[in-house]
Structure 1
Amino acid sequence: MNQFNFNGKKSSTGLDENIAGLLCYVGTFITGLIFYFMEKDSRFVKFHALQSIMLFLSLSIVNRIFAWIPLLGGIITDLTGLLAFIFWILMMVKAYNGEWFKLPIIGEIADRNANV
């Protein structure tokens, strides 16, 4: 886990990078998309925006697929919702603390593609 050396650096949105990183997760993949396309200078913000997009879209897809399965699907969608909530809080805290916290698979993809 890499620490971001937070020194009050601003992103191209005018926000501190850690605040912009946190906001990438606030509205799940929607704010991730907004910050991905708005951010021009900060690799940190782009990384968190991409990770937010991939995390919440993949959880939404899994949730939709299992929603069609009687009984077991309801249990799995409830667990997926709980997992999404836990990730949502965790990722906002990590971004606010300036951490390049990478989720398995998704984090590596986001890291490779977070170019400014």
Structure 2
Amino acid sequence: MSPFKSSSGLPENVAAALCYLFSFVGGIVFLAVEQRSRFVLFHALQSVIFFCGMMVAHVIFGFIPLIGPLIASLLSILTLVMWVILVVNAFQGRWFRIPLIGDIAESQIRHL
């Protein structure tokens, strides 16, 4: 557990886990509230990018006849598995990076 507090008053690891716990909404809330912790900002931005991307992909594949619903179902399972992995890693205080998305999130928090 992290001894450092985020701007919200929560420990960093708890705030980072909440970014994922409530999907992209948690990420948006912490992007708006957090002013100090790069750890929380990273996880908030990664949450927004990942979950919004998965929502868009799910909708797009849902429109493809026959195989689209199968792919959308597999994306739902992948999203659930990633959600658990992300919440656990954030709560444990790890800088878990999703390939490509984590790099984008990290490069963006450098500019904040």
Q: Please give the TM-score of this superposition, normalised by the length of structure 2.
A: 0.95
| C-alpha distance in structure 2 between counterparts of 1:61 and 1:36, whole Å | 21
How many residues of Structure 1 are paired with residues of Structure 2 in the alignment? 111
Query: Greater relative contact order: 1 or 2 (C-alpha under 8 angstroms, separation 6 or more)?
Result: 1
Q: State the Cα distance separating 1:105 from its structure 2 match.
A: 0.5
**Within-5 A mapping of 1:56-95:** 56-95=51-90
CA contact (8 A) 2:27 2:43 kept: yes
| RMSD over aligned Cα atoms | 1.0
Q: Find the aligned partners of 1:102 and 1:89 in 2 and give their Cα distance.
A: 14
Q: What 5-or-longer segments of structure 2 have no aligned partner?
A: none
**Match 1:31 to one of 14, 26, 29:** 26
* Identical residues among aligned pairs (%): 41
| d(CA) in 2 for partners of 1:87, 1:49 | 15
Matched, 1:107 2:102: yes
- Relative to 1, partners in 2 of residues 1:26 and 1:110: Cα closer, same or farther, differing over 3 Å? same
What is the match of residue 38 of structure 2? 43
Q: Secondary structure at the match of 1:100?
A: coil
Runs of 4+ that moved beyond 4 A:
none
**Distance (Å, rounded) in 2 between the aligned partners of 1:46 and 1:114:** 7
Aligned partner of 2:17 among 22, 43, 49: 22
Partner AA of 1:40 in structure 2: Q
TM-score for the superposition, normalised by structure 1: 0.92
